[in-house]
Amino acid sequence: MHNFEYAKARSVDGAIQLSTPDSRYLSGGIDLLGEMKEYIVSPKRVIDLKTIPDLDRIDKSTEIWKLGANVRIAEIAGNDQLRATLPGLAEAAVEVGSPQIRNVATLGGNLAQHSRCWYYRQRDLRCLKRGGNTCYALEGENKYHSLFSGNPCISPVVSNLAVILAALDAKVIVRRGEQEVTLTIPELYANAWDNPLAHNSLRPADLIVRVEVATAKNRSAYLQVSEKGDFDWALVSCAAAGQKTGSQWTQVAVFLGAVAPIPYAVDSTLLESSGLTSDSIASIAEDLASKATPLTHNGYKLPIAQALVRRCLARITV
């Protein structure tokens, strides 16, 4: 990697002040250091966030969980109270990497990570996402790529936590200059849908400060299918969440991961109007086929996505 300045931020204000168009934030560092070693990015300054107080706090003093951006994935996976309240979030955290990675990787880093597409990660190629003219995956090896996309780049979002947090209607608090802005998970990734250069909607100096998750949705689940049983990226992931009061369902949401450049919302009027019967769940899953665009090597993802939608919805209705 190229030489760079290293700076430790002591506060969120300090991190913002240290930030320049040529700098990058560092917390767990798993994604950033990999890109730097491959010369995909070469920041002139790396700003270490690990020394900022309170960014590693989990606060459940109200009906809203407040998870600092530096909270390690292992803490989310191992928090018994969180698992009881938001089981889907804990399930998603358990699926992130290996135990060693979960002990280092952070919530903010998981949400902000960049594409895993091997054409993007190949130092000798300049693909569409890196400012070139071609998405090589479209006509090349697209086994792990998107079924749904609003632009010619078919690199999918791979964050486990983004998928379940979208289903839980989580809010992401981002420091943007002197202001804090609140983004939903769909807003956090919206730019990636139609802009091939974007991984998310964050601006260069934006800093994720925390994620807030209300406990109103009392049912949630996360499932994924991977090639290996452990320590592997999801081929397809799925999260479902909703509020059940008696026999009534409200605020039901289902999102898919690893099939689109954004956490993909499964949109159906049946999610609440039908009461989530076995027939309606089957119909919701079946409707995905009409919206997907399978490519040469990734058509297998569609039946997996349909199966995960059925299973996730079945799990929250138990």
Q: Which amino acid is at 111?
A: L
User: Hey, what are 254's tokens?
Assistant: 């289902």
| pLDDT for the residue 37 | 92
Asked if the model's pLDDT at residue 298 lies above 90, the reply is yes
**Average pLDDT of 179-199?**
98
In angstroms, what CA-CA distances link 117 with 58, 77, 129, 149, 263? 32, 26, 10, 14, 16
Task: Using the predicted structure, report yes or no on whether residue 18 has a pLDDT greater than 80.
Answer: yes
Is 151 inside a domain boundary? yes
Contacts of 169 (CB under 8 A, 6+ apart): 184, 214, 216, 217, 241, 251, 253
pLDDT over 90 at 229, yes or no: no
Q: What is the mean pLDDT of the chain?
A: 95
Picking from 186, 187, 142, the residue whose alpha carbon sits closest to that of residue 166 is: 186
130 within a domain of the structure (yes/no): no
| pLDDT exceeds 70 at position 274 | no
Q: Are strands 236-245 and 207-214 parallel, antiparallel or unpaired?
A: unpaired
Structure tokens at 284: 């919701």
Question: Any residues with CB less than 8 A from the CB of 221 and at least 6 apart, and which?
Answer: 87, 88, 91, 239, 240, 241, 312, 315, 316
Amino acid 1: pLDDT: 86
The letter for the amino acid at 214 is: A
- Asked whether residue 273 carries a pLDDT value surpassing 80, the answer given is no
Asked whether residue 6 carries a pLDDT value surpassing 80, the answer given is yes
Q: Is residue 131 part of a domain?
A: no
153-180 pLDDT, tens digit each: 999 999 999 999 999 999 999 999 999 9
Quick one: average pLDDT of 116-138? Answer: 95
Q: With cut-offs at 50, 70 and 90, classify the pLDDT of residue 106.
A: very high
Tokens describing residue 131: 């400012």
Q: Which residue range is the domain that position 153 belongs to?
A: 5-125+142-317
- For residue 57, count other CB atoms closer than 10 A to its CB: 12
Contact in structure between 65 and 213 (CB atoms under 8 Å) = yes
Question: Is the pLDDT score of 215 beyond 90?
Answer: yes
Q: Is the pLDDT of residue 138 over 90?
A: yes
Q: Give the CATH number, domain containing residue 20.
A: 3.30.465.10
Which of these ranges, 19-23, 217-221, 244-248, 253-257, has the smallest mean pLDDT?
244-248
Q: Which tokens hold the place of 133?
A: 């003219």
Q: Please list the residues that pair with 172 across neighbouring strands.
A: 183, 211
Please check whether residue 93 lies inside any domain of the structure.
yes
Is the pLDDT score of 275 beyond 80? no
Alpha-helical segments (H) within the chain: 12-18, 30-37, 73-78, 80-85, 87-94, 99-102, 107-112, 118-121, 136-139, 160-167, 185-194, 270-273, 278-286, 301-317
Does the pLDDT at position 245 exceed 70? yes
Which band of pLDDT confidence, cut at 50, 70 and 90, is reported for residue 65?
very high
240: helix, coil or strand? strand
Instruction: Report if residue 133 sits inside a domain.
Output: no
Q: What is the rounded distance in angstroms from the CA atom of residue 129 to the CA atom of residue 236? A: 21
CA 256/CA 223 separation, integer angstroms: 10
- 134 within some domain: no
Q: Give me the number of domains the chain comprises.
A: 1
